[in-house]
């Protein structure tokens, strides 16, 4: 293969992103009804979290089984702001009246500010991931231990949300939201706007990740995944590299969670559960964890699959979804997107074969 | 390398700004109708000889065991109405969707039923979480939800009809019974940790304060968990006259097993449960004989309407199946809807809601009447006692149907703002 083809191949993912952007930003808004577009927006939220999982797990080798924690942090930060918007400028949320003292807790108050909320959506999960990452990776904890720890934290966070009904709305969560930064949530025009913002965030996250994968950081991250000891021998601290990837993944999950709230119209602890975290991972695995577009496409496919299968077979859809996972993992272990480069290779091989035949 | 990076950054910037322009357009054009909030006209089509109705129940997940029974009785009601000629001469075409025990899915499927399937009304929901998740959808798309399960009250939505009991038809009559008939002096509260038990217990505590009943303990466990050992130990040590049980779902099995393990039973530590019906009682592998419940319907209710309902249900779904309060409330809700539509002469949401007041139906539980103001129904409270065969028999009944009072306005001791 010559240098030009190699250089061209490096931009393959960019072509993929362009096709995805065309679909999400031009074709889908034109072709889909408001309701279907809103559903696609929710899948995009899972995809945003999925891109982060691809980075941490696919490229970094950290099995992040608890991204629901960060998805939930972002979602609750956004939910708190929207709940305060729905309550009105001087009022407190309904559940605080019913189950609490009727006084807004001090740590809720800053979320009245939209700017604070947006900052919190990025900063809070980043800090949590930083502390957790340093504590874990500096001690060289990895593999199953890290996976168990991250999942346990998610479960604990969910339990905390359920038990603190005075502050979090408990099992029912933050609901009856009405506006998104002043825009009515149930107006189709605004719904489209929220979808557009989400789709653009997904594309931007993919572009950032594309750049990360091409950078020296991306190279060292893969090296850390494959041969951590050698990376350390070369003078890098693998812990720092992993922490950076983990923090980025956490921020992406948080942003996905934050955008999920205005589209779902509510957030509750079920979206933060171990099951929700596993669904995120499953989407990434289905799409192809080590590729750039795989995690995003996998999340979109799983989201669409869940919706359409459950509509077609309300009684048996969970079996079909399970069968889909089993089939993909058995026959395409590297995910759906791994089929494309394979097909390209096969095509190239045939072309060269033909050329050779012609030469003969 | 440097060059391509610069190009990439430029490209990203271009994409971003293009997107911002696009979203900018979206939000700007919406400024005018943000206040209106509602989105377009309904697409309900009744020009043919059918009317589409949505059934939204959890067919998968933790709640499916309970909610599938509601789906069954809705199907029975639709079949019976169709056999009798339909609603306004139009046959019901049910469209079943799975709420998957997840509130976000309930909201999504409700929207799907209204916008894609163009149903005239939706029947379903079970948990309070699922109801409040769906509430804004029905409001913004101006459709009707019939919600069949007893709940915590404090709600009266324009687009929802509540055909299960509110607190003054289930919780308060049970307390009245315990106070006047059983002469209790102390009570222990055990509930799942979510909005219904929390609200019910808030009401119970204020009631007890008013009437001088001592609350000796209050314990919660998460909905899907069953670590009830410590709470049962406290029941043993505090010896309450009665335990008021607002535990929901599978957690009851763990609670009552722990209860049984400590040697507690209906004679030494009676329980009043508000979430254990025939279906749940049958699934609890502990002798519940003599334990009490508070509902508005039992399979054993003696009336020609109930005999016909139980017979038809068993004929359709099997002799071993039981009928319970939420199933009966769902069944009744469809006949109430039929009567509302026929009174209105239209399937139009506002006309149906407008015709709701005073609609009555001779339901299996007895006569029920729709309250047009708060959208609940007047129904009779029945205190029941679990029999050895796990069916429940009425031991005490309210004096006829109780007017629904979801906000407890007629109870002077109730102060919602008190913690």
Q: Which pLDDT value is given to residue A359?
A: 56
Does residue B58 fall inside a structural domain?
A: yes
Contact B419 A100 (CB under 8 A): yes
Domain presence at residue B17 = no
pLDDT mean across residues, chain A = 91
- Residue A17: predicted pLDDT: 96
Please report where in the chains the tokens 């054009």 appear, as a residue: B29
pLDDT attached to residue A215: 94
- Shared domain for B387 and B260, answered yes or no, is yes
Residue showing tokens 């998968």: B60
Residue A123 C-alpha from the chain's centroid: 17
SS3 A235: coil
With a cut of 80, say whether residue B39 has pLDDT above it: no
Q: Cβ of A264 and B108 within 8 Å?
A: yes
Whether the predicted pLDDT of B116 surpasses 60: yes
Per domain, the residue ranges of chain A are: 3-359
Token pair for residue B156? Answer: 């009266």
Residue B136 Cα, gap to closest chain A Cα (Å): 6
Q: Is residue B178 in a domain? A: yes
Torsional sign, CA B119, B123, B129, B132: positive
**Which pLDDT tens digit goes with each residue over B126-138?**
999 999 999 999 9
Q: From B210, B203, B177, select the one nearest B189 (Cα to Cα).
A: B203
Give dist(CA A56, CA A65) in Å, integer: 11
Q: What is the pLDDT of residues B276-292, one digit of tens each?
A: 999 999 989 999 999 99
Higher pLDDT, A6 or A111: A111
Mean pLDDT confidence for B254-277: 94
Tokens 């809103």 map to which residue?
A38
pLDDT band at B23 (very low <50, low <70, confident <90, very high): very low
Q: What is the pLDDT of residues A282-295, one digit of tens each?
A: 999 999 999 999 99
Residues B387 and B360 in one domain: no
Measured at the CA of B143, the angle between CA B138 and CA B148, to 5 degrees, comes to 75
Smallest Cβ–Cβ distance between B30 and the set A95, A183, A204 belongs to A183
Q: What pLDDT is attached to residue A9? A: 74
Same domain, B283 and B187: yes
Rounded distance, CA B283 to CA A76, Å?
36
pLDDT at B28 over 50: no
Task: Output the CA torsion sign for A25, A27, A31, A36.
Answer: negative
How confident is the model at residue B29, as a pLDDT?
36
Asked whether residue B346 is domain-assigned, the answer is yes
d(Cα B324, Cα B317) in Å, to the nearest integer?
14
The token pair that represents A38 in the structure block: 């809103």
* pLDDT in the model for residue B35: 34
Distance, in Å, from the CA atom of B292 to the CA atom of A320, rounded to the nearest integer, reads 42
Beta pairing partners, B94: B53
Cβ–Cβ under 8 Å, residues B264 and B238 = no
Instruction: Tell me what percent of the residues of chain B surpass a pLDDT of 70.
Output: 90
Residue B177 belongs to a domain: yes
Would you say B170 and B377 are in contact if contact means Cβ atoms under 8 Å apart?
no
pLDDT tens by residue, B400-413: 999 999 999 999 99
**Domain count for chain B:** 2
pLDDT of residue B7: 54
Could you tell me if B96 lies within 8 Å of chain A, comparing CB atoms?
A: yes
Lowest mean pLDDT among A37-51, A345-359, B248-262, B279-293: A345-359
CB B196 within 8 A of CB B246: yes
Contact A162 B37 (CB under 8 A): no
- Across the interface, whether the CB atoms of B194 and A177 are under 8 A apart is answered no
* d(C-alpha A36, C-alpha B123), whole Å: 22
Residue A171 to residue B223, Cβ atoms within 8 A: yes
Residue A30 burial class via C-beta count within 10 angstroms: exposed 0-12, middle 13-18, buried 19 and up? exposed
Order the strands of the B121-124 sheet from edge to edge: B91-98, B50-57, B121-124, B145-147, B160-162
Q: Return the higher-pLDDT residue of B161 and B66.
A: B161
Per-residue pLDDT, averaged over B361-381, amounts to: 97
For chain A, give the percent of residues with pLDDT over 90: 72
Closest chain B residue to A314, measured at CA: B98
In this complex, which of A187, A204, A266 lies closest to B34 when CB atoms are compared? A187
Residue ranges in chain A assigned as alpha helix (H): 3-10, 12-22, 28-31, 34-53, 67-87, 94-99, 114-137, 144-163, 165-168, 188-214, 216-226, 228-233, 238-264, 274-287, 294-312, 317-331, 339-359
Indicate whether B41 belongs to any domain.
no
Average pLDDT over residues B30-38: 37
B228 shares its domain with B93 = no
Summarize the confidence of residues B268-281 as an average pLDDT.
Answer: 94
Instruction: Answer yes or no: do B77 and B141 share one domain.
Output: yes
pLDDT at residue A157 in the model: 96
Taking 50 as the threshold, does the pLDDT of residue A78 lie above it?
A: yes
Rounded CA-CA distance A222/A230 in Å is 12
* Helix (H) / strand (E) containing B137: helix B128-140
Residue B323 contacts residue B309 (beta carbons within 8 Å): yes
Q: What is the mean predicted confidence (pLDDT) over A229-234?
A: 94
Task: Share the mean pLDDT of chain B.
Answer: 90
What is the predicted pLDDT for the residue at B24? 44
Res B236: pLDDT: 95
> What are the structure tokens assigned to A264, written together?
């779902």
Q: What is the DSSP letter of A269?
A: G
Are residues B255 and B190 both part of a single domain? yes
Question: Which of residues A348 and A124 earns the better pLDDT score?
Answer: A124
Which residue segment(s) compose the domain that B212 sits in? 168-296+383-397
Distance CA B75, CA B73 (A): 5
Quick: pLDDT tens for B296-324. 999 999 999 999 999 999 999 999 999 99
Q: Do B280 and B392 sit in the same domain of this protein?
A: yes
Q: Which residues of A touch B111 (CB under 8 A)?
A: 35, 38
More confident residue, B203 or A355: B203
Q: Annotate B376-415 with b (16+ C-beta within 10 A) or e (fewer).
A: bbbbbbbbbbbeeebebebebbbeebbebbbbbeebeebe
Q: A107-116: list long-range contacts, CB under 8 Å, 24+ apart.
A: A108/A80, A108/A84, A108/A167, A111/A77, A111/A80, A111/A81, A111/A84, A112/A81, A112/A84, A113/A81, A114/A81, A114/A181
pLDDT digits (tens, 9 = 90+) for A130-163: 999 999 999 998 888 999 999 999 999 999 999 9
Per-residue pLDDT, B70: 97
Q: Which of A302, A295, A270 is nearest to A154 (CA)?
A: A270
What confidence tier does B33 reach under pLDDT thresholds 50, 70, 90?
Answer: very low
Say how far apart CA B234 and CA B242 lie, in whole Å: 13
**Distance between CA atoms of B380 and B392, rounded to whole angstroms?**
16
Cβ neighbours of A264 in B, within 8 Å: 104, 107-108
Sign of the C-alpha dihedral computed for residues B64, B67, B72 and B74 taken in this order: negative
A13, A203, A204, A314, best to mutate vs chain B, most B CBs in 10 Å: A314
Please provide the DSSP assignment of B306-334 as one string: HHHHHHHHHHHH-TT----HHHHHHHHHH
Which H or E run contains B3?
helix B2-30
Beta strands in B153-280 (DSSP E): 160-162, 186-192, 214-221, 242-246, 271-273
Token representation of residue B311 = 């017979």
What is the rounded CA–CA span in Å between residue B271 and residue A310? 39
Is the same domain home to B282 and B176? yes
C-alpha radius of gyration, chain A, whole number: 22
Query: In B345-412, where does DSSP find H-type helix?
Result: 349-354
Check B195 against A171: CB less than 8 A apart: yes
pLDDT of residue A199: 98
Q: Does residue B157 belong to the interface with chain A, where contact is any CB pair within 8 Å?
A: no
pLDDT at A324 over 90: no
Residue B214 shares a structural domain with residue B239:
yes
CB A48 within 8 A of CB A205: yes
pLDDT tens string A45-76: 999 999 999 999 999 999 999 999 999 999 99
Mean pLDDT of A220-224: 95
Q: Cα A357 from chain centroid?
A: 48
Q: How much is the pLDDT for B41?
A: 62
A224 close to A285: Cβ distance less than 8 angstroms: no
Report the CATH number at residue B283. 3.40.50.2300
- A120-134, B31-45, B66-80, B320-334: range with lowest mean pLDDT: B31-45
Residues 100-129 of chain B whose Cβ lies under 8 A from any Cβ of chain A:
100, 102-105, 107-109, 111-112, 115-116, 128-129
Q: Tell me: do B347 and B201 sit in the same domain.
A: no
pTM score of the predicted model = 0.89
Structural domain contains residue B221: yes
């Amino acid at each position: 293969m010559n240098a030009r083809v190699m250089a061209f191949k490096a931009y393959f993912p960019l072509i993929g992103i362009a096709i995805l952007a065309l679909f999400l930003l031009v074709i889908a808004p034109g072709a889909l009804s408001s309701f279907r577009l809103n559903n696609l927006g929710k899948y995009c939220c899972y995809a945003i979290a999925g891109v982060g999982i691809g980075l941490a797990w696919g490229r970094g080798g950290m099995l992040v089984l608890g991204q629901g924690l960060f998805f939930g942090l972002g979602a609750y930060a956004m939910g708190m702001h929207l709940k305060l918007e729905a309550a009105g400028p001087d009022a407190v949320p309904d559940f605080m009246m019913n189950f609490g003292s009727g006084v807004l807790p001090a740590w809720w108050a800053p979320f009245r500010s939209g700017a604070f909320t947006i900052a919190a959506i990025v900063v809070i999960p980043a800090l949590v991931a930083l502390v957790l990452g340093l504590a874990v990776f500096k001690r060289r904890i990895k593999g199953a231990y890290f996976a168990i720890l991250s999942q346990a934290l998610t479960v604990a966070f969910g339990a905390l949300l359920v038990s603190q009904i005075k502050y979090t709305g408990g099992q029912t969560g933050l609901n009856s939201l009405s506006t998104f930064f002043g825009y009515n949530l149930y107006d189709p025009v605004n719904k489209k706007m929220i979808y557009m913002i989400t789709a653009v965030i997904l594309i931007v996250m993919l572009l950032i990740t594309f750049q990360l994968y091409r950078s020296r950081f991306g190279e060292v991250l893969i090296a850390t995944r494959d041969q951590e000891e050698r990376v350390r021998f070369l003078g890098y601290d693998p812990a720092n590299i992993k922490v950076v990837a983990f923090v980025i993944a956490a921020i992406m999950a948080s942003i996905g969670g934050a955008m999920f709230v205005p589209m779902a119209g509510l957030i509750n602890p079920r979206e933060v559960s171990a099951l929700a975290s596993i669904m995120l991972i499953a989407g990434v695995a289905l799409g192809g964890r080590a590729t750039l577009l795989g995690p995003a496409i996998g999340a979109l496919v799983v989201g669409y699959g869940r919706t359409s299968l459950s509509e077609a077979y309300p009684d048996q859809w969970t079996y079909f979804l399970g069968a889909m996972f089993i089939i993909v993992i058995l026959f395409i272990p590297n995910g759906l997107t791994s089929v494309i480069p394979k097909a390209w290779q096969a095509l190239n091989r045939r072309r060269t074969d033909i050329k050779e035949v012609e030469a003969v | 390398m440097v060059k391509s990076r610069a190009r990439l950054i430029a490209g990203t910037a271009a994409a971003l700004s293009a997107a911002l322009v696009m979203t900018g357009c979206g939000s700007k054009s919406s400024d005018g109708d943000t206040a209106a909030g509602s989105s377009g006209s309904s697409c309900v089509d009744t020009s043919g000889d059918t009317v589409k109705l949505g059934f939204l129940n959890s067919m998968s997940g933790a709640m499916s065991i309970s909610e599938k029974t509601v789906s069954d009785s809705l199907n029975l009601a639709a079949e019976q109405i169709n056999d009798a000629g339909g609603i306004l001469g139009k046959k019901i075409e049910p469209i079943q969707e799975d709420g998957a025990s997840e509130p976000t899915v309930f909201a999504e499927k409700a929207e799907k039923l209204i916008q894609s399937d163009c149903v005239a009304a939706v029947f379903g929901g079970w948990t309070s979480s699922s109801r409040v998740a769906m509430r804004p959808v029905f409001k913004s798309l101006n459709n009707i939800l019939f919600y069949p399960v007893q709940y915590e009250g404090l709600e009266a939505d324009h687009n929802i009809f509540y055909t299960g009991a509110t607190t003054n038809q289930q919780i308060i009559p049970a307390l009245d019974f315990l106070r006047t008939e059983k002469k209790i002096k102390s009570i222990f509260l055990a509930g799942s940790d979510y909005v219904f038990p929390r609200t019910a217990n808030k009401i119970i505590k204020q009631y007890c304060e008013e009437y001088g009943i001592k609350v000796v303990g209050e314990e919660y466990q998460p909905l899907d968990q069953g670590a009830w050992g410590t709470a049962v130990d406290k029941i043993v040590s505090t010896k309450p006259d009665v335990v008021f049980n607002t535990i929901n779902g599978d957690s009851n099995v763990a609670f009552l097993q722990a209860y049984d393990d400590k040697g507690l039973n209906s004679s030494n530590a009676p329980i009043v449960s508000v979430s254990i019906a025939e279906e749940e009682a049958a699934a609890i592998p502990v002798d519940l004989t003599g334990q009490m419940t508070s509902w508005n319907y039992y399979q054993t209710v003696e009336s020609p309407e109930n005999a016909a309902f139980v017979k038809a249900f068993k004929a359709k779904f099997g002799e071993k199946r039981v009928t319970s309060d939420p199933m009966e409330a769902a069944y009744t809700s469809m006949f109430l809807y039929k009567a509302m539509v026929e009174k209105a002469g239209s399937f139009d949401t506002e006309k149906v809601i407008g015709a709701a007041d005073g609609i009555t139906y001779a339901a299996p539980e007895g006569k029920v009447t729709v309250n047009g103001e708060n959208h609940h129904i007047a129904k009779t409270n029945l205190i029941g006692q679990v029999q050895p065969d796990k069916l429940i028999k009425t031991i005490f009944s309210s004096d006829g149907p109780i007017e629904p009072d979801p906000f407890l306005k007629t109870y002077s001791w109730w102060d919602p703002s008190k913690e």
